[in-house]
Amino acid sequence: MYSDTNKKLTRPVTLSKLRKMKQEQEKFTCLTSYDATFTGAMNAASIETILIGDSLGMVVQGQDSTLPVSIEDMCYHIAAVKRGNDNAFLLADMPFMSYSKPEQALDNAAKLMQAGAHMVKLEGGSWLKDTIGLLTERGIPVCAHLGLTPQAVHKLGGYKVQGKDEATAALLLKESLELEAAGTDILLYECIPSELGKTLTEAVNIPTIGIGAGPHTDGQVLVMHDMLGVTQGRKPRFVKNFLTDGRSIQEAFEAFSDEVKSGTFPAPEHGF
């Protein structure tokens, strides 16, 4: 919750809180972080959820994709974020090929949770149902990532918008409902048409997070390096640089939060 005087989070954000925010149509924010210092600044800016993403492979390690990131890499950065965190809800990516079988997923998810994560995130559709069922049965909250799934970038043929035609949009809806029924707690959609993001968010009872999925998802996430304007190379359409107009880094985080909650970000130019 927020205090009336300074709008700072005064209690830890929980999954129950995020569900309530969806019910009350209150937007929530998410940024990636990989260390204690930036996490502290996000806490001060009242960012509700923090993703320790396998994007660290690219923005921290200098890899050309997320595929080389290991469970050990993830545990190291989760522990660092946890030490800097007060009240944000922490999601953590399960890296490439760390959850190809349900029992393997359970073992690796346990490592991430023991390192400090509050929830694990997996990329994939209906084939994850048994895995999600096993994890949730064992008390591990799950975020499922649909749409553009960076771990499958070579199979997808590059970083392309997903769900643009009727058949693939229908498949995303079908998989969303199946994963919710399997026990998924949050759905994250990446690079899908804005209207599809609205349809999917309205179709499920669990919170949704979008990145390049339009303004209608319950939460919005950006990679920290992208929203601070320090990522090298081509910038995705859904990215906005918030480190402008003489802002400090914390003020950039606060501006992101303000724009998400007011509905001004993402704007039409950030969608598909």
- Catalytic residues, by residue number, are 190
- CB proximity list for 256: less than 8 A, separation 6 or greater: 29, 31, 45, 47, 222, 227, 242, 265
Report the distance separating Cα 105 and Cα 102, nearest Å: 5
93 carries a ligand binding annotation: yes
111 carries a ligand binding annotation: no
Q: Which of 34, 55, 30 is nearest to 221 (CA)?
A: 30
**What are φ and ψ of residue 29, in 5° steps?**
-115, 155
Tokens of 225: 């390096």
Q: β-strand 208-211 against 49-52: which pairing, if any? A: unpaired
The answer to whether the beta carbons of residues 207 and 219 sit under 8 Å apart is yes
Give the burial class of 160: count Cβ atoms within 10 A of its Cβ; 0-12 exposed, 13-18 middle, 19 or more buried. exposed
The answer to whether the beta carbons of residues 201 and 223 sit under 8 Å apart is no
54 carries a ligand binding annotation: yes
Report the distance separating Cα 146 and Cα 175, nearest Å: 9
Q: Which of 33, 67, 86, 87 is nearest to 221 (CA)?
A: 33
Report the distance separating Cα 79 and Cα 122, nearest Å: 19
Q: Is 47 helix (H, G, I), strand (E, B) or coil?
A: coil
Binding residue ranges for 3-methyl-2-oxobutanoate = 54-55, 93, 121
Binding residue ranges for Mg(2+) = 54, 93, 123
